Amino acid sequence: MTNVTDPLTEAEGREGLKLARRSLETFVRTGRRLQHPEAFTGGLAEPFGAFVTIHESSGALRGCIGHMIGDGPLGDLLIDLGISAGTRDPRFDPVREPELAGLKYEISVLSPMKKTHARDVTPGLHGLLIRSGHFSGVLLPQVAVEWGWGREEFLAETCRKAALPKDAWKETSTDIYTFTAQIFNE
């Protein structure tokens, strides 16, 4: 499930995970954003899109927030997304301090999006962004694998996430974009 040209080294990926974890822990305990003491280097200095996903120790989803396109250093984005995934995902109450030790983090560093056709979507390799009018939905590459979806089900579920009819991906007015992700998890 990784891009052929992975943007981060393994060490940078581990550092990205630490940034996501420490940012939420710092915010929950102090109400302040984690400050990184020096400029980011390597892949963490590049403007990649990313998602931070947080799971409970049971494996249940606890929060997931991301940005498809980066506009500054990835390290700064991971700090912000770590906080947002734990406190601003509208599906969940904000994380509280007693929960922190039991949480597991995953970061997905995104490739640029590519407009494509449904026939070219490969579940497990590609993530999807589907857009029609003012509606859009995103699912990361690992979601299709976790749920055992084939191409058509992955497309239909991404439409559902966009609040579109499940077969909206077949319409010429619907745009389909793919991307890949380099995934690191604890």
What is the per-residue pLDDT across 63-114, written as a single tens digit (0 to 9) for each?
A: 999 999 999 999 999 999 999 999 999 999 999 999 999 999 999 999 999 9
Q: Assign 106 to helix, strand or coil.
A: strand
Please, what CATH class does the domain formed by 114-180 belong to?
alpha beta
Buried b / exposed e along 42-56 (16+ C-beta atoms within 10 A)? ebbebebbbbbbbbe
Whole-prediction pTM: 0.90
Instruction: Please give the mean pLDDT across all residues of the chain.
Output: 95
Nearest to 153 by CA among 140, 166, 170, 138: 166
Please, what CATH class does the domain formed by 10-110 belong to?
alpha beta
pLDDT at 2 over 80: no
Beta-sheet pairing, 175-179 with 127-132: antiparallel
pLDDT of residue 5: 66
Any idea where the domains of the chain sit in the sequence? 10-110, 114-180
Which DSSP string corresponds to 37-60?
Answer: SS---GGGGS--EEEEEEE-TTS-
pLDDT of residue 7: 87
pLDDT of residue 1: 42
pLDDT of residue 4: 42
**Is 113 in contact with 83 (CB distance < 8 Å)?**
no
